Structure 1
Amino acid sequence: MKASAARWTATIVLALAVAWPGAAGATTYVTETFTCPIGGEKFKARSVVSNITFGQRPDGKPYSPLPVYPIPECPSNGLLLFEKDFGEDELAVLAAAIATDEYRAMHDRETPRYRAWWLMTRLKRPALERAYMLFQAPWESDDDWDRKVRYMAAFVNEVAALERTEDEADAWFWITLRAANSLRELGHFEKAAAMIERATAPGNLPGDPEAAEGARTYVEALAALVAERNPLSEPASLVPARFAAVRCTVPRPALTPSEERACARPEVAEAVAEFKTRDDEGRKLTGEAAIRFLDQRRRAHD
């Protein structure tokens, strides 16, 4: 069911990318030549010049033609260049790490960001940096629910060990809320509620008034989903209107109360009306008909 939902999301992302003005060709690349700092191998890889996003999911993954940027990887030894430069002592640590059987076995089993996080732990990178790398690893695993669960659990554990400091207070606040969302998606609703409470303790909200207001909006929606025991990765109440339009039109499973309220917003009705695609004969479909057609196509291929 989870893998099916991921394929459904991919279908909708493509449809919305086509429908959105200016979206076509929005992701551009340049080919760069890299030199592997271990072994000296030269290789070419693409770097992103421009991209476009259409908002994000509750877990922070952007709706985009390229939601996760590639990390250059040395072809021969698998070293991921997740930083521009490494010191000599760091390269010695990395050389030993990538030579292990454990790391080599990861190549076909784990995603780049998870492997980068693993290497960062060997370098003893700051905990918050490691958490942000691991935060993105589940985005690379929408097609593998078991792996995604493993990554979300590891992310939650990493965040649970973080200490709040004044210098990184806002970053700590947001990463802690993202961990609360991971707990919600994992179905650990009581732990999710406790994590929200930890993040929003007095004095923890961002100091900037606009950021604080955005935080309150996110927290209110997330807390409602937790109270409703809603584990969906794309609930109607915490995705952009164009994506909520899909969930509101074909609500499987049934909408929870906070989602029903979100579906009643005028901007969602407008998004449904603006939805466009073409059927198998090339005929233009709009509104609910377009969404239901894509839903039927998705179910036919499951």
Structure 2
Amino acid sequence: MTIGYPMIRFVLFALILTFFAYPAVSGSPVSAQKTCPLDGEKFEIVETVSCSTMGRTMSFKPVTSCDFVTRLPVCPTTGLPLYKEFSEEELERLRPFVETEDYRTIRNLPPWQRAYRIAEYLQHTGSKRGFQILLMAFWHEHKSFLNNSDLAGKFVEEAEGEMDRDDQGKPFIAAILTYAFAASGEPEQADAWYARATSLTDALGTQNGNVDFLRSYLKRLGECRDMMTSAECLPDAGFRP
């Protein structure tokens, strides 16, 4: 099975809890064709037949052997991000929407942030999908995302909801939000989330094998909070325990 567009459907923190237990498998790019569901326009995307995670960055974004894949296909003419396979009912709502002034405004946003606004319109937010879209925006569009105060606030709301749904993912989500607040220059919020992430990590005890990894990440994150502009603390800087 190829990996690319369907990656948005993954169970995020199940992968986080196991990613460093496996050897790296190098992926090879595979071209595939997508069809825009609104107008039938065809365009090329890049997928792969194999992929593995080899580490994390300081924003906790996975470093993979297939970073070249098209994670979010975007229709060239309409600018619609295909973050899911839309139902016929959803497409009926989207067809008039993409002709509106509201959509023209949304289209100026980077793709993942645009996808979230469309998800809001279709009432897909306040869910695992909403959290995953904003997490991808944070990881792949971090500069503009952190400057968008409204979406940054939505990120916290979606993260809180995801923590309610996913007990095992709680410390990881709290650690990611610690980094997000530190990177956006909000030290008080960063400190509060750091304390929360540390407490949640301690509460894991020996329930899984990733506690040591997460503690190492939090230690590095604690060191970075007062020097976020240094090269080793930037969002895409590599992290190894």
| TM-score of the two chains, using structure 1 as the length reference | 0.57
- Could you list the per-position Cα deviations for residues 80-122 of structure 1 after superposition, in whole angstroms to 9, with x for gaps in the alignment? 2212x22222223333443332333444x43221212222222
Q: Larger Cα Rg: Structure 1 or Structure 2? A: 1
Question: How far does residue 230 in structure 1 lie from its aligned partner after superposition?
Answer: 2.0
CA contact (8 A) 2:224 2:233 kept: no
Q: Secondary structure at the match of 1:31?
A: strand
- Could you list the per-position Cα deviations for residues 210-258 of structure 1 after superposition, in whole angstroms to 9, with x for gaps in the alignment? 12332222223323433xx2223753698346xxxxxxxxxxxxxxxxx
> 1:185–1:92: structure 2 CA closer, same or farther, 3 Å change rule?
same
Greater relative contact order (Cα < 8 A, sep 6+)? 2
CA contact (8 A) 2:56 2:239 kept: yes
In structure 2, the residue matched to 1:149 is 146
Question: How far does residue 28 in structure 1 lie from its aligned partner after superposition?
Answer: 2.7
AA at the equivalent of 1:158: F
In structure 1, the residue matched to 2:80 is 79
CA contact (8 A) 1:35 1:42 kept: yes
CA distance in 2, matches of 1:63, 1:165: 23
> 1:192–1:64: structure 2 CA closer, same or farther, 3 Å change rule?
same
Question: How far does residue 49 in structure 1 lie from its aligned partner after superposition?
Answer: 3.5
Question: Is it true that 1:115 corresponds to 2:114 in the alignment?
Answer: yes
| Percentage identity across paired residues of the two chains | 24
Q: Secondary structure at the match of 2:45?
A: strand
CA distance in 2, matches of 1:186, 1:117: 20
Unaligned 5+ runs, structure 2: 1-23
CA contact (8 A) 2:135 2:155 kept: no
Structure 1 residue runs of 4+, over 6 Å off?
none
> 1:114–1:38: structure 2 CA closer, same or farther, 3 Å change rule?
same
> 1:194–1:157: structure 2 CA closer, same or farther, 3 Å change rule?
farther
Tell me the number of residue pairs that the alignment of Structure 1 and Structure 2 aligns. 211
Question: How far does residue 66 in structure 1 lie from its aligned partner after superposition?
Answer: 5.8
Select the residue among 155, 162, 168 that pairs with 1:158: 155
Question: How far does residue 57 in structure 1 lie from its aligned partner after superposition?
Answer: 1.5
> 1:176–1:154: structure 2 CA closer, same or farther, 3 Å change rule?
farther
> 1:230–1:153: structure 2 CA closer, same or farther, 3 Å change rule?
farther
Aligned CA-pair RMSD = 3.5
Question: How far does residue 64 in structure 1 lie from its aligned partner after superposition?
Answer: 5.7
CA contact (8 A) 1:27 1:49 kept: yes
